[in-house]
C-alpha cells in the first residue's frame, strides 16, 4: 500500500503525455474530416474546384479566439496535477511550482475573458 503514490505518479507522468498526443491526433482527424465533408457537400452542390479551394482555405485560415482559454486550462491543469502529485508523495516543494502554474493558467483565462469583453464592446 505504500507504493501506491509512486505507482500513481509514474502512471500519470507516462499516461499524461500519451493522452495529450491522442487528443491532438483526434482533433486533427476531426478537422480533416470536416474539411473533407465540406468538399463533398460543395461538389454535390455543383460548386467549381476554385470555389471549393477558396472555402477550404478560408476554413484553414480561421483563427480560434479561444487560444488563451485553452492555454489557461492546460497550464492550470498541469499545475493542479503537480500539486496533487506533490501532496501524494509528501513533497511540498513541488506544490510551489504547481501553485505558480495554476496562477499562470488563471492569468491566461483572465486574458481570454478581458479580450472577449473588449471584442464585444468594439
Residue 99 has pLDDT above 70, yes or no: yes
Length of the chain (residues)? 122
pLDDT of residue 75: 92
CA atoms within 13 A on the CB side of 7: 4
CA atoms of 81 and 101, how far apart (whole Å): 10
Residue 104 has pLDDT above 90, yes or no: yes
> Are the C-beta atoms of 112 and 70 separated by less than 8 Å?
no
CA atoms of 94 and 102, how far apart (whole Å): 13
The three cell numbers of residue 25 are 491526433
For the stretch 59-80, pLDDT in tens is 777 666 778 888 999 999 999 9
**pTM for the full model?**
0.53
CA angle 46, 48, 49 (to 5 degrees): 130
Amino acid at each position: 500500500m505504500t507504493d501506491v503514490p509512486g505507482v500513481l505518479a509514474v502512471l500519470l507522468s507516462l499516461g499524461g503525455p500519451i493522452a495529450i498526443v491522442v487528443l491532438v491526433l483526434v482533433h486533427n482527424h476531426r478537422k480533416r474530416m470536416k474539411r473533407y465533408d465540406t468538399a463533398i457537400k460543395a461538389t454535390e452542390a455543383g460548386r467549381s474546384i476554385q470555389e471549393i479551394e477558396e472555402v477550404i482555405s478560408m476554413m484553414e485560415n480561421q483563427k480560434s479566439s479561444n487560444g488563451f482559454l485553452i492555454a489557461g486550462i492546460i497550464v492550470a491543469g498541469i499545475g493542479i496535477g503537480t500539486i496533487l502529485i506533490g501532496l501524494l508523495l509528501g513533497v511540498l516543494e513541488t506544490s510551489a511550482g504547481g501553485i505558480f502554474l495554476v496562477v499562470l493558467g488563471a492569468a491566461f483565462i483572465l486574458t481570454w475573458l478581458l479580450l472577449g469583453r473588449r471584442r464585444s464592446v468594439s
